[in-house]
A and B are shown apart, each in its own frame.
Chain A
Amino acid sequence: MSRKEIDQATGTETTGHEWDGITELNTPLPRWWLWVLYACIVWAVGYWILYPAWPTLTGYTPGILGQSQRDDVAQAMLQLKSSREAQGRLLASATLQQIEADPNLLQFAREAGKSAFGDNCATCHGSGAQGFKGYPNLNDDIWLWGGTLDDIKHTIQVGVRSTHPDARQSQMPAFGRDALLEPKQIADLTEYVVSLSGGKADAAAVARAEPLFKEQCAACHGDDAKGKREFGSPNLTDREWLYGGTKADIQAQIVNGRGGVMPTWGSRLDPMTIDALAVYVHSLGGGE
Chain B
Amino acid sequence: MNANLVSTLKTVAAETNALAAEGVHRVDAQATNSAAVRKDYVARVPIYPKLVNGEFRLLKWIGMAMMLGVYYGLPWLRWDRGGTAPDQAVLVDLVRERFYFFWIEIWPQEVYYVTGLLILASFLLFLVTALFGRVWCGYACPQTVWTDLYILVERLIEGDRSARIRLDKSPWTLDKIGRRAAKHTAWLLIAAATGGAWIFYFHDAPTLAANLFEGTADTTAYLFLGILTFTTYWLAGHMREQVCTYMCPWPRIQAALVDHETLMVTYRTDRGEPRGAHKKGQPWEGRGHCIDCNQCVAACPMGIDIRDGDQLECINCALCIDACNDVMKRVNLPRGLIAYDTHDNIERRRKGQKARIRLIRPRVILYAVMLTLVAGVMLFGLSTRATVDLNVLRDRNPTFVRLADGAIRNAYTVKVLNRGETARKFLLSIDGPAGLDVKIVGIEKVAAPVELEVPADRLRTLRVLITIPAQSLTEESMPVAFHVTDAAIGEVRSTSTVFLSEEDEE
Question: Residues of A at under 8 Å CB distance from B?
Answer: 1-4, 6, 8, 10-13, 28-34, 100-103, 106-107, 110, 126-130, 137, 139-142, 199, 235, 238-240, 283-287
Contact = CB atoms under 8 A, between A and B. Distances in A.
B246 interface: yes
Task: Give the interface size bracket for B toward A.
Answer: 35 or more
B244 to A, nearest CB: 12
Interface string B53-68: 0000000000000000
A282 B211 CA distance: 48
A28 B4 contact: no
B140 interface: no
A30 B442 contact: no
Contact of A239 (B11, B43, B242, B402): B402
B397 A29 contact: no
B218 interface: no
B411 A284 contact: yes
Given A1-B29, A139-B411, A286 B401 contact: yes
B interface: dominant SS: loop
A128 B398 contact: yes
Interface string B448-468: 000000000000110101000
Given A34-B41, A107-B461, A285 B409 contact: yes
B4 A142 contact: no
B38 to A, nearest CB: 9
Contact of B42 (A2, A10, A28, A102): A28
Contacts of A287: 441
B39 interface: yes
Given A101-B442, A199-B506, A285-B411, 4 more contacts: A6-B8, A33-B246, A239-B402, A287-B441
Q: Which 5 pairs of residues, A with B, have the shortest CB-CB distance?
A: A11-B2, A128-B397, A130-B398, A238-B404, A283-B441
A32 B44 contact: yes
B26 to A, nearest CB: 13
Nearest to A129: B398
Contacts of B220: none
B27 interface: yes
Given A6-B4, A12-B4, A238-B405, A30 B44 contact: yes
30 contacts: A2-B29, A3-B32, A4-B8, A6-B8, A10-B2, A11-B4, A28-B39, A29-B40, A31-B41, A31-B44, A32-B239, A33-B246, A34-B41, A106-B442, A107-B461, A110-B463, A126-B397, A127-B397, A129-B398, A130-B397, A139-B411, A140-B401, A140-B409, A142-B403, A238-B404, A239-B402, A240-B404, A283-B442, A284-B411, A286-B403
A8 B8 CA distance: 11
A28 B245 CA distance: 13
A38 B456 CA distance: 54
A279 B381 CA distance: 39
Given A128-B398, A140-B402, A30 B246 contact: yes
B93 interface: no
A238 B444 CA distance: 27
Interface of B: 1-5, 8, 11, 27, 29-32, 39-44, 239, 242, 246, 395-398, 401-406, 409, 411, 439, 441-442, 444, 460-461, 463, 465, 506
A139 B42 contact: no
Nearest to B401: A139
A285 B2 contact: no
A58 to B, nearest CB: 36
A94 to B, nearest CB: 13
Contacts of A10: 2
B8 A140 contact: no
Contacts of A238: 404-405
Contacts of B398: 126, 128-130, 137, 139
A240 B461 contact: no
Nearest to A143: B404
Nearest to B1: A11
A32 to B, nearest CB: 7
A199 B506 CA distance: 9
A102 B442 CA distance: 7
Contact of B404 (A13, A33, A141): A141
B505 to A, nearest CB: 9
Contacts of A34: 41
B41 A29 contact: yes
Contacts of B30: 4
A30 B32 contact: no
A104 to B, nearest CB: 10
B6 to A, nearest CB: 9
B104 to A, nearest CB: 28
Nearest to A106: B442
Nearest to A139: B401
A141 B5 contact: no
B442 A235 contact: no
Nearest to A10: B2
Given A2-B32, A6-B5, A110-B463, A30 B401 contact: no
